[in-house]
Structure 1
Amino acid sequence: MNRQPEVLWAHRSDKVYLTVSLPDVKDVSVKCEPEGVFCFSAVGVNGEPFLVTLRLYDNINPQGCKTKIGLRNILCSVQKEQKGWWKRLLKSEKKPPPYIKVDWNRWCDEDDEDSESNLASDEDNAYDGENDESSNDEGMLCKSIIFCAPPI
């Protein structure tokens, strides 16, 4: 049985930041599809599988998506297809699952984005995979494709 890790999210007009909180995982796979499907899987320290599939609010640009695997979490920067503010993270209007939470440390309101533009460019540098010995993919998404559960 697959488990869902905690996923923190925040966004800007052009990107969505997803942080998957899982320490010391292996076999990490992240897949982004243009129609807004985000799929994450990994194997935990005790061999338990973790899987999250999210149907995001709107379409995304898979070529502009980056990931960085750290010791305690996996950071994903997902580029929106069209610049603009989303009403919510998921396409569904239902209450999000309990493992999805707002990342208040990265959160930016629409009115604050202009004053935060320098901070946002600094955050992008954190996702580029440079100077991080724990990531061999140089900030790009894993190319391995695995079975993903149907989007929620």
Structure 2
Amino acid sequence: MSGKRNPPVLWAQRKDKLFVTISVEDCKDPKVELDNEKLFFTGEGGAEKKAYEITIPFCKAIIPEESKQSLGARELYFVIKKKEEIWWPTLLKEQGKGKIHWLKTDFSKWRDEDDSDPEDVADDLNLNEMMTKMGGVGEGPEESEEDSDDESLPDLED
């Protein structure tokens, strides 16, 4: 055994793309390979600089040339273009019947096939904006504007 472990992976999808997040804090010089059928990642990260490695064989084909990636302080973000605009039943080619401990659904980005809206703002994902929001920076002015939520509430009656 190589001593490398699988990092936590989150995923969500739209009809035309996948959102994949690999969670490894302070990952320095990650190696990423994306081809028509899979995503490969290896790198070290976290407080103890543990070695991580994972190969994600996709359920269906993707277009690596039209896909994007961004390295954040805690995660690697991927927006991966699907070859066919269809909803995938699962992310992995051979999911099997057991639970995969390192793979979870990213409910913050998930949309079901029947409630997906073509005008959905999340479809036009801006990775820099997403990373800013994840870090809690740039969420709007806090000092100059008074928020209506700041008003005091009346006492509850017994």
Q: TM-score normalized by structure 1?
A: 0.76
Which whole-Å CA distance do the structure 2 matches of 1:130 and 1:63 have between them?
A: 22
Among 103, 108, 128, the alignment partner of 1:105 is 108
Contact 1:18-1:75 within 8 A present in 2 as well: yes
Distance 1:130 1:4, change over 3 A: closer
Please state whether the residue corresponding to 2:65 is helix, strand or coil.
Answer: helix
Contact 2:5 2:52 in 1 (8 A): yes
Question: Quick one: distance in 2 between partners of 1:14 and 1:4?
Answer: 27
Map 1:30-41; keep pairs closer than 5 Å: 30-34=32-36, 36-41=37-42
**1:130, distance to aligned residue in structure 2 (A):** 9.9
Q: Which has the larger radius of gyration?
A: 2
Which blocks of at least 5 consecutive residues in structure 2 are unaligned?
A: 133-158
Q: Which residue of 2 aligns with 1:125?
A: 126
1:93 shift after superposition: 3.9
1:60 to 59, 62, 68: 62
Shift of 1:119: 2.3
1:60–1:78 Cα contact (<8 Å) kept: yes
Equivalent in the alignment of 1:70: 72
Unpaired runs of at least 5, structure 1: 132-152
Choose which of 27, 30, 46 in structure 2 pairs with 1:28.
Answer: 30
* Higher relative contact order (Cα pairs below 8 Å, separated by 6+ residues): 1
Conserved 8 A contact 1:66-1:127 = no
Work out the CA distance in 2 between the residues paired with 1:69 and 1:86: 26
State which of 17, 26, 50 in structure 2 corresponds to 1:48: 50
The one-character-per-residue Cα deviations of 1:72-124 (angstroms, maximum 9, x if unpaired) are 11111111111110011111140352100000111011112216622221xx2
User: Percent of pairs identical after alignment?
Assistant: 30
User: Partner of 1:63: helix, strand, or coil?
Assistant: strand
> Which TM-score applies when normalising by structure 2?
0.73
Cα 1:67–1:128, aligned 2, differ >3 Å: closer, same or farther? farther
Distance in 1 between the 2:34 and 2:128 partners?
A: 16
Q: CA deviation at 1:53?
A: 0.2
Displacement of 1:10 after TM fit? 0.3
Over the residues paired in the alignment, what is the CA RMSD in angstroms?
2.2
* Separation of aligned partners in 2, 1:127 and 1:30: 19
